[in-house]
Amino acid sequence: MNHCEGGPFDIIIEVPRWGFVKRGSNDDVDFISPLPCPYNYGSIPKYLGLDGDLLDAVVLGPRLARGTRLNMRAYGVIGLTDRGLYDDKLICSDKPLTNLDRFLILNFFRLYAIFKRLLNFIRRRHGPTFCDGWREVDSAVACARLREDAWEGPTIVF
């Protein structure tokens, strides 16, 4: 697989590395995880993903405070289907991903999908949830749409 890069992208951190509280782009708590997230998790406010929310960004490296703004390149994308809605997560770093990085990230999102499936069952939210694996940055950005000024947040409940 060709590991192309994209960006750089402006990113806002929503969940610091090792955080338990997953907040959405509207700042509401989506859920409290039983396991901490090993990555900084945020969004790219310029784009909306296929789920109607801001395009997700996973930022490798040291823990960053919630609200931190940075500009980074993406070196790959993990696709995740949650309740039947496909969502891209751009994997951003200050350097290209190693094979170990790619292995760990993929397996984290496979485990994440299992926990999210359980949470969806408890919440009685239906539809398949699974990790779709790696895809290219260019294809994810091509599927995203530019956020309009009138956007007021996602239309679905996460």
Residue 151 belongs to some domain of the structure: no
Percentage above 70 pLDDT, the chain = 95
62 has a pLDDT exceeding 80: yes
* Least confidently predicted of 3-7, 13-17, 24-28, 73-77: 3-7
What residues have CB less than 8 Å from 62, skipping those under 6 apart?
A: 17
* Least confidently predicted of 93-97, 120-124, 153-157: 153-157
56 has a pLDDT exceeding 80: yes
Higher pLDDT, 153 or 79: 79
Q: What's the confidence (pLDDT) of residue 154?
A: 77
Residue 32 belongs to some domain of the structure: yes
Residue 155 belongs to some domain of the structure: no
Of 14, 54, 5, 53, the residue nearest 37 (C-alpha): 14
Residue 125 belongs to some domain of the structure: yes
pTM of the model: 0.90
Average pLDDT over residues 123-139: 93
Tell how far CA 129 is from the center of its chain: 14
* Least confidently predicted of 87-91, 92-96, 123-127, 151-155: 151-155
Residue 54 belongs to some domain of the structure: yes
Residue 106 belongs to some domain of the structure: yes
Structurally, the chain folds into a number of domains equal to: 1
- pLDDT (tens digit, 9 = 90+) per residue, 21-52? 887 767 778 778 777 889 999 999 999 998 88
Residue 42 belongs to some domain of the structure: yes
Residue 157 belongs to some domain of the structure: no
Residue 79 sits in a domain of what CATH number?
A: 3.90.80.10
* Least confidently predicted of 19-23, 99-103, 124-128: 19-23
Supply the range of the domain harboring residue 42. Answer: 6-146
Q: What's the confidence (pLDDT) of residue 4?
A: 56
Q: Are 156 and 49 in contact (CB under 8 A)?
A: no
Sign of the CA dihedral with 87 first, then 93, 96, and 99 last: negative
What residues have CB less than 8 Å from 27, skipping those under 6 apart?
A: none
